[in-house]
Every structure is written in structure tokens, then in C-alpha cells.
Structure 1
Amino acid sequence: MSKRKIVITQNLKPEYIAKIKKIIPDWDVIAGKDPSIWKEHAKDAEVIAGWRKELADYCLTSGSILQWVQTWSAGVDSLPLEKLQSQNIKVTSANGVHAYPISETIFALMLGLTRKIHTYVKNQQTKTWDHAHLSLEIHEKTIGVIGVGEIGRETARIAKAFGMTVLGVRHSGKPSDFVDEMYRPDQLDQVLPKCDYVVVTLPHTQETHHLFGEQQFTQMKPSAFFINIGRGEIVIEEELISALQEGTIAGAGLDVFETEPLSTESPLWEMENVIITPHTSGATEHYNKRVVENILIPNLETYLTGQTPGINLVNFRKGY
């Protein structure tokens, strides 16, 4: 009888491989980013950790024994969710590992725009000594966190250190620590006019697709900053560009875009009131450690008992 098999499409330190093997000593553990390492094993894999689009050719065909996919990312919108659901394959995400690095990026963008750090960096390159009309501060302002999950909660917690009022939006509308007022998505128009900063931490789903456009930017204060670290498809990018050009909003910090990499022709590159990062807000030295120790191994232990892995189990209907 052949061994049960897990394919991990990541380059992991030996210590993490050892921890996984300790949980499943009788399994074959195939790990590595290069497809040549896992390609011949994919069809025989019972568990896949780290989805790659090429895997569909091996794991979503007749003869595949795949039962569970543990993603290496929080977002699952790039996965073939309908096909996975039709084949009754469970999917769990890496949601939660990003709370620290992404919340740090959110505040880096907010503080950079507020204190004009991006402007001063550009001035430094040309040895220009200029005040740049700096006047704003972040303390005691109002932040709207659109999507209060793990990232949103950590963002709200940090906001309290600045004495900020925190307004939250989440699907359930249930209260959360560090959030002063919670709203549902259909109440977004009540939230936006109150905010000095609007921070989008939502996943991309059918419900959130193009959630932000001209109407929403018009509802924001002309002095407000828009931060998006969720997904680019949540925003109608052309209408965001217009809002920035026309002064409908004061500025934006953007880590995600409708098309990535962002086209060199995009006006966003040249805007003085925009800070761009290349979809790196979740990057951290602790990424693999957190996925392995906090999510993969506990889920694997549950799976071995015959139960469905419970950490970050994806709801196919909701898309996250």
C-alpha cells in the first residue's frame, strides 16, 4: 500500500519540515517551490499546502485523491473554488498570519501621507529643503476599517494608541474589541462621511467587487485618505484616479491594484498624493513560521482525526 502524501509548494526550513513530519511520520512529505520537485507527486497527494494554478491539471482530474488544500495566502479568489467545491475538496486559508505586517504597512501609509514622508523622500533625492506645507497629524482622528477580521482588529488596536475613533464595517455587524462603532456593509454610506482615513482590508468576492467607486469617494471628506491593502478589484481604479486628480479625496496609499504589476502608464505613479507599494504589505520574516505552526500543523492534527480542518475553513458560498 502506497504512503499517504502531502505536497507543500514552498521552500521551508528543515526545522519546519521536521515539525510536519513529526505529525505525519508515515506520510511522504514533498516540499519545494520548483514544480519539478512536486509535479510528479501532485496527482497522488491527499493534501496540498500552497496552491499553484498548475496544480489543477494534476489534482482536479479523474484519479486524483486530493481531499484538502491549505493555501499559503489569505486570499482565495485566485483558486478554482467552484471546481474544488464540486469535488468536495476542503480549503483552508492562511488568514491571520498577516495581521502584524499588514497593520504595520497600513500605518506606514497613513503616517507617510499625513506627515508627508513620501514628499520628503523625493525632496531628499534632489537635495531640496522644502516644508511642503506639512500641517496634519494622525492623533484623535477617525479611522474607518472596512473589513474587521484579524488585520482589521489589529489595525483598530493600534489606532487606539493614537487616540483615534475607530469605526468598523463587517458582514455580521457584530461588535469587536477596539472598535467604537460597528456597521454592516449596507451602512457604508453612514461611515465614509465621518472618516479621516478609510482603510480597506476586505477579501475580493462577488459582494466586494467594485465596492468603491465614484459614489463612495464622493461620500468621503475632501481631507480624507484612502488606504487599500485588500484587493485591487474592490476599487474601480479609474474612478479612484479621478477622485485623486479632482481633489475629491486628499490622497491614497495603495498596495493592491486591478491589474498587477501596475502598468507603467498608470497616472497613479506620478501623483504627489499617492504612495504605492507592490502588493508587499503581507511580507514578513515570520510568514512561513506562522503558516506552519499556527495553521497548517493544527489543521493537520484535526484532519488526522477524520474531522474537517477548522482554522480558516473557506466558506465557498461567501468566497472566503
Structure 2
Amino acid sequence: MPKRKLIISQNLNVLLLQKIKELVPEWTVITGRSSEIWKDHLADAEVIAGWKTEMAESIDASEVKWIQTWSAGVNALPLESLEQKNVQITTANGVHAYPISETIFALMLALTRKIDTYIKQQQVKTWHHANMKQEIHEKTIGIIGVGKIGKETAKIAKAFGMSVLGMRHSGKSEEFVDEMFTQNQLNDLLPKCDYIVVTLPLTPETRNMFGKNEFRLMKPSAFFINIGRGNLVIQNELVQALKDKDIAGAGLDVFETEPLPGKSPLWEMDNVIITPHTSGNTEYYDQRLIQDIFMPNLENYLNGKHPSINLLDYRKGY
């Protein structure tokens, strides 16, 4: 009888890989980032950890039962085909809560205290206050998407004495969030906030959620932070809102097209900080994903249960 097979399309350190192998001593474990290592094993792999776009062409003929992604988002996966095959999908949601919340506040503080402006001035040896006067303490933050990242962001916001407004699909209350809104109440939330932080996944429901109408509802002094997905925002309308000073500035880690094309006007805007989709990067990424998500899910799977941590709901798209 052929051995059950697990593909891990990542280069894991020896200790993490050994822990996985101890859970499945009778399985064949294929590991490595290069497609040359695992491409011939896709057809009969039962579990795949780490989705790669080049896997899509083989998925219809595969025997895969469960996919653990290496990212929080799943919009790069062929979800329709996978749903038809009843493939269970679990995501890396939660791995990013610390690093992304740190990036959110780095962007908020840099924009508020003009750190990006001063770095540019340093490069040309210019000593000027740049009319810096704003502070972050006791302001109002609106967190659009109160999942694990949003919760950690709300917790940090309270250390600055901020008022925290949140938006989530269910409208369910959450610790550190003073008032919760649903998506159909977004227009009520936006005018109240000094900072809008978007942490949503990309779904048909959230695509193009932010455009000119939403930016016009925001305070002219407000800053817009997007670490969710680029297509949550109509990018040319964000550019126009920044030019028209409908909002004061933006911190952006994600974009409609990545890498951000050199012709994009966002590169040249003084009130924009750009990071190259790195807000979730951390030295602990693999460790958290394997120990906190994949291994507990694998134990459940081996015992005939559904992987329960971050199990995708195909209807919701997350």
C-alpha cells in the first residue's frame, strides 16, 4: 500500500521539519520551495502545506484533501475547483497579528509626526520643522475588519488613549473596541475617525469598498492605512482624494498591481508612505504557522477530524 504523502512547499528549518515528521512517521514528506522538488508528487499528495500558483494546473487531477496556505488571503487559489473537490483549506490567519499591527502604528506615527518627511530632508541636509504639530494620543481610530490583526491593533491603540471604532461582518462586540459597526454602517463610521485602518480580506463583498465617496466622508485631516489587499480600494480614486486633500495622507502596503508600477503617481506623493507588501514579514513566521496552526490541525486531521484552526468558509471567502 503506498504511503500517504505530504508536500511542504517551503524551506523549513530542521527542528520544525522534525516535529512534523514525528507526527506522521509513516508518511512520505516532500519539502522544499523549488517546484522541481514537489511537482511530480502533486497528483498523489494528500496534504499540501504552502500553496503555489503553479499548482493550479494539476489540482483537478490531484488527490489532495487538505491545503494549508502560507498566507492569510486565499484569493490566489482556484477556490471554485477546490470547493467542487471538497478540499479543506486552512489559512495562516493570526501569524501576522504582531508584525502587521506594528507596521500599522509605524505608518500612523510616521505620517502623524512627519518622520518620512524628515528622512527626506535628512538626505538633502535640510533643517526644517515641516509644520509638524499633530499627535496620535486620544484620537479616534477606525479599524475596518476586526479579526486577529484588528484586535491587536485595537489593543495597542488603547495604550495611546485612543477611541477605537471597529467594523466587522457580524457586528459582534470585541474587547478594546468602544463601538462596533457593520459593513452597511461604514458611512456612519468614516466621518468620526482620525485614522482609518483596513485589515479586510479580499472577497466579492469587499472588493472596491473604498472609493471617492468613502474618501469624501473622511475628515480632511484623516490618514488612510491599507494593509489588507490592494483591490479593496479603487486606486485611482485614492490618488485623486490625496491630490484633492479629501484626506491628509496614506500608508499603503498593498496595491491593485504589485509590484507597484513605476508610473504610479503614488511614488511621488509627499503625503504617502509605501511599503512593498511586507507588513506581515517576521522572523517568527514559519514557527508560528507550524506550531500554532498546522501541527494542531494535522493532529485533528490524523484523528479523523476537520482541521479547525482558520478553516476556510467557502461561502464567505475567508
For the superposition of Structure 1 and Structure 2, which TM-score range results when normalised by the shorter chain?
over 0.9
2:137 is equivalent to residue 135 of structure 1: no
Q: What residue in structure 1 maps to residue 39 of structure 2?
A: 39
Displacement after TM superposition at 1:55 (Å): 1.1
Take 1:282 and 1:60, find their aligned partners in 2: how far apart are those partners? 31
Take 1:236 and 1:316, find their aligned partners in 2: how far apart are those partners? 25
Displacement after TM superposition at 1:58 (Å): 2.4
Superposition misfits of 4+ residues, deviation over 6 angstroms: none
Take 2:37 and 2:126, find their aligned partners in 1: how far apart are those partners? 52
Aligned residue identity for 1:302: N
Q: What residue in structure 1 maps to residue 269 of structure 2?
A: 271
Q: What residue in structure 2 maps to residue 281 of structure 1?
A: 279
Take 1:300 and 1:27, find their aligned partners in 2: how far apart are those partners? 12
Q: What residue in structure 1 maps to residue 74 of structure 2?
A: 76
TM-score using structure 1 length: 0.99
Aligned residue identity for 2:308: G
Displacement after TM superposition at 1:267 (Å): 0.5
2:101 is equivalent to residue 107 of structure 1: no
Q: Deviations over 1:220-261 (max 9, x none)?
A: 000000000000000000000000001000000000000111
Aligned residue identity for 2:306: T
Q: What residue in structure 2 maps to residue 162 of structure 1?
A: 160
Take 1:66 and 1:141, find their aligned partners in 2: how far apart are those partners? 49
Take 1:78 and 1:65, find their aligned partners in 2: how far apart are those partners? 20
Q: What residue in structure 2 maps to residue 19 of structure 1?
A: 19
Aligned residue identity for 2:176: F
Aligned residue identity for 1:11: N
Displacement after TM superposition at 1:308 (Å): 1.1
2:49 is equivalent to residue 55 of structure 1: no
Displacement after TM superposition at 1:44 (Å): 1.2
RMSD: 0.6
Take 2:33 and 2:59, find their aligned partners in 1: how far apart are those partners? 17
Take 2:58 and 2:248, find their aligned partners in 1: how far apart are those partners? 48
The number of residue pairs the alignment matches comes to 318
Q: Deviations over 1:256-288 (max 9, x none)?
A: 000111010011000000000000000000000
Report the identity percentage: 64
Q: What residue in structure 2 maps to residue 5 of structure 1?
A: 5
2:123 is equivalent to residue 125 of structure 1: yes
User: Structure 2: any 5+ residue segments left out of the alignment?
Assistant: none
Aligned residue identity for 1:148: V
Aligned residue identity for 2:240: S
Take 1:58 and 1:259, find their aligned partners in 2: how far apart are those partners? 26
Q: Deviations over 1:140-177 (max 9, x none)?
A: 00000000000000000000000000000000000001
Take 1:59 and 1:209, find their aligned partners in 2: how far apart are those partners? 26
Q: What residue in structure 1 maps to residue 187 of structure 2?
A: 189
Q: Secondary structure at the match of 2:304?
A: coil
Take 1:57 and 1:246, find their aligned partners in 2: how far apart are those partners? 45
Q: Secondary structure at the match of 1:289?
A: helix
User: Structure 1: any 5+ residue segments left out of the alignment?
Assistant: none
Take 1:195 and 1:127, find their aligned partners in 2: how far apart are those partners? 35
Q: What residue in structure 2 maps to residue 214 of structure 1?
A: 212
2:299 is equivalent to residue 301 of structure 1: yes
Q: What residue in structure 2 maps to residue 245 of structure 1?
A: 243
2:312 is equivalent to residue 314 of structure 1: yes
